[in-house]
Structure 1
Amino acid sequence: MATGPIVELHRNSGDWDEIVAEIVKLERKIFPKHESLATFFDQELRKKNSGLLYLDINGEVVGYVLYSWPSSLYASIAKLAVKEQWRRQGHGEILLKAAIEKCRTRKVSRILLHVDPMRTPALTLYRKQGFQVDTLIEGYYSSDRSAYRMYLDLDAN
């Protein structure tokens, strides 16, 4: 498995526009329009309590995780995505672990996320990292697509 560094995107980074443009392009390709943050990505990242980690392999952004921590009570993983040709190689797991670690350093108690129950690889990844299903939210993504709300308590780890 080829691997590269996990990079945290900083607001004052010289390559901000380039990285955000690459991630927006990836976001549009992976997610349906109504689930995509592409039009709001730059705005989301400029919020005080949000962060983005991305995996750089030979200068290519192959995956990213967008998260926020509104308070010390909880953080939320809004997006986790890996380019199709780089999937099933452990990159999503590396990104998820890095985001969990960032939340841990911010003394967050719980991490929340939503996942389509039909996305078995994503569900398996989250469960492997200790996330548990809290509830099923009917119609979360659309009228015919629901989501599991999942959580990971960090004080227990």
Structure 2
Amino acid sequence: ARTTASGAAVGSSACLASEAGVVLTPRNDSLSVGECMAIERTCFEACEVMDIAAELSHKRIQLICASAAGGVVGYVVLQSFAPASLGANSYAALQRSLLLVNKLAVAQTHRRKGVGRALLARAIGHAYSTRAEACVLHCDEANRPARTLYESMGFSVLDRRMNFYRLGRHALEMELPLGSGQSCESRGPHEMSAFFDFSATHDG
């Protein structure tokens, strides 16, 4: 197990995947993307559905799928941001690298089996392998299971975004520092708000 800068122990994604009965692999083939899209449409409201195929055409995007005997049962979409990639007019003041957990979803038939934890552990491992200084995400404030998972893996809440998803549905900006450089918290929530605004529309 790896211990993050926040002191949380993150188990091996391979071990967690084995315990959950899934295999984690990077994918970009049309069949896997189609299976992910089927899960995406059942997990999120229409206005929040991501076009995963379109996202994969951008730079620094990776799709990791959790597969069982019946096919894909969960996935995570990751996006890497290096300071130089953000540009002078976007978020150059960040001056460090981040890994954004853009989407994480698990089919209803495989929830509460450890699939989400295995995917998140893989995401954190990827962040370490790319030397990201922090792993960041946003979470629906009302999604208690997701928030509990993230906090158990060392993520902490930095800020609350009102009406982020739609009127009355708020988001929590969360961060996991990885032990290199300053945490987002030390830079202030307004900078992270700017980052999330930018990353939501970034074309890679």
What TM-score, normalized to structure 1? Answer: 0.90
Query: Which residue of structure 1 aligns with residue 140 of structure 2?
Result: 116
What TM-score, normalized to structure 2? Answer: 0.70
Higher alpha-carbon deviation: 141-150 or 42-51:
42-51
For structure 2, list consecutive stretches of 5 or more residues without a partner in the other structure. 1-18, 83-95, 181-204
> What SS is found at the alignment partner of 1:118?
coil
- Pick from 38, 43, 48: which aligns with 1:30? 43
Asked if the contact 2:41/2:49 (under 8 Å) is kept, the reply is yes
Q: What are the within-5 Å matches in structure 2 for residues 76-155 of structure 1?
A: 76-155=100-179
Q: Could you tell me how far 1:59 is from its partner in structure 2?
A: 4.4
Q: How many residues align?
A: 149
Which has the bigger relative contact order, CA under 8 A and spacing at least 6?
A: 2
Is the counterpart of residue 58 in structure 1 residue 76 in structure 2?
A: no
In 2, the alpha carbon distance for the partners of 1:64 and 1:127 equals: 19
Asked if the contact 1:2/1:57 (under 8 Å) is kept, the reply is no
Identical counterparts, % of pairs? 31
> What SS is found at the alignment partner of 2:81?
coil
For structure 1, list consecutive stretches of 5 or more residues without a partner in the other structure. 11-15
> What SS is found at the alignment partner of 1:47?
coil
> What SS is found at the alignment partner of 2:164?
strand
- Pick from 33, 42, 50: which aligns with 2:53? 42
Structure 1 runs of 4+ aligned residues shifted over 2 Å read: none
> What SS is found at the alignment partner of 1:69?
strand
Q: Could you tell me how far 1:80 is from its partner in structure 2?
A: 0.5
Q: Could you tell me how far 1:103 is from its partner in structure 2?
A: 1.1
Q: C-alpha root-mean-square deviation of aligned residues, in Å?
A: 1.3
Larger radius of gyration between Structure 1 and Structure 2 = 2
| Counterpart residue identity of residue 65, structure 1 | V
In 1, the alpha carbon distance for the partners of 2:38 and 2:113 equals: 21
Greater share of strand residues, 1 or 2? Answer: 1
